[in-house]
Structures are given as C-alpha cells and as structure tokens.
Amino acid sequence: MKLATTLIALAVILAAPIAKAERLAQSGTVIIDLDTVERDGAQLPDRGTSNILVNAGFEDGSLPPWTTNNWTVTSADAQSGSFSCEDLGNFWVRQDFTPVDVTTVSSVGFWSKQPEQALQAVDFYYSASDFDEFVIFPLADWSYFDVTSQLRGSGNLQAIRIWGYSGGGPDPDLTRIDDVVVEADVPTPVVESSWGRVKGLYR
C-alpha cells in the first residue's frame, strides 16, 4: 500500500509543470523579472537645437563634464558620430547642470542599447538629494527613449543620471548610450573668441 501511494505521489510530481526560472536583473535600485516585461517599439527623437547638456554625444572622446562610477567612452559602437558611452554592471553616469524650470523643458531622451535587453534606471535630480527614479527597457539595437513624461509637474531639474544593470542572463551586462538630450527654452550660452562673442553650439 505504501509503495502504491509513493508511486502515485511521484506520478503527480512528474506530471506537474516545471516552474519557469526568474530572470532577475537590477538597475539602480530597481529589481525586475525580465520575463514579465512588455517592451515598447522604437521611438523617434525630438530634433531640437537647445540641448543644455555639454558633450551630450561623447564626441569629445572623453567623459567630462559627465561623472561616473564605472562608465567609459568607447569608439567601438556609436549611434552617431564616432563615440558612445558604455558600462558593464549596475553603475551610473551623470551630468549636472544649471537648474532649469521643468516647465521650460520640452524634451528629455537618449539612445540606448543592451544586447541582453534587460532594464535601465534613470534618475531626474531636483536637488542634491531629491530625485525620481524610473526604468526603461532597452532593445538589442540602438533605440531612442523619450522620457520627458517622467518629469515632475513643477520644480527645477538640475541633473540626469543613467544606469547600467546587472543580472538577467548569461551574457555580459553591457549597456551603451549616446546622444543624450535635455531640451530647454533657456538663453543660448555664449563663449568668448578672439573675434567677439559667438553663440555656443551644442551637439
């Protein structure tokens, strides 16, 4: 009798569906099972001319004025130009700027690429310690992400921080970004030259 009961229990176990393993990944402070994500298609960038970021496309071949705890500039793969910025792991790259009223900001976005198609946290800073964090879901190829809708309804934006990720699969946790944009209706900066004051052009 015990043998029959054991065989029945074993048959039930073998017939039960095997639970699907979670593909957990982390970006910033957010942890998500990647198998539950529904991804949006590619978006079209807003081609404005008032980007307040400096070295927004990393075409200086170096990071400043961006700061980071692990990202580097690379010429291996760029969405445009010759350079992009890349990271392996859950680390950040950030640019601070003169605070701008969010009501003057018309567009915030950037190009991103993750071969593993994981997730990417983004932080909008409104003071040194006050920020909102949200996530996007990059694709394997270069795709543009318009994150303007994540801005608060009021306040002064003063920095953007973009993360890589860790976990989620067997391949390297590689993230690349390029052509970051914060379009704002602010006076065009000027620079000094030997022949007078000229408008500073942003990438």
Q: Are strands 131-136 and 174-184 parallel, antiparallel or unpaired?
A: unpaired
Q: Determine the pLDDT at residue 16.
A: 43
User: Is the pLDDT reported for residue 10 higher than 50?
Assistant: no
Cβ–Cβ < 8 Å for 22, 32: no
Quick check: helix, strand or coil at residue 9? helix
Instruction: Give the residue among 155, 167, 114 at the shortest CA–CA distance from 138.
Output: 114
Cβ–Cβ < 8 Å for 120, 164: yes
Share of the chain above pLDDT 70, in %: 74
Instruction: Give the residue among 193, 189, 154, 195 at the shortest CA–CA distance from 52.
Output: 189
Kindly write down the DSSP assignment for every residue of 129-154, as one continuous string. S-EEEEEE---SS-EEEE-GGGS-SS
162 CB neighbour count, 10 Å cutoff = 27
Q: Determine the pLDDT at residue 137.
A: 97
16 CB neighbour count, 10 Å cutoff = 8
Q: Looking at domain 36-188, what is its CATH homologous superfamily?
A: Galactose-binding domain-like (2.60.120.260)
104-140, pLDDT tens digit by residue?
999 999 999 999 999 999 999 999 999 999 999 999 9
Q: In the predicted model, what is the mean pLDDT of residues 56-81?
A: 98
- How far apart CA 145 and CA 120 sit, in angstroms, is 11
Query: pTM higher than 0.85 for the full model?
Result: no
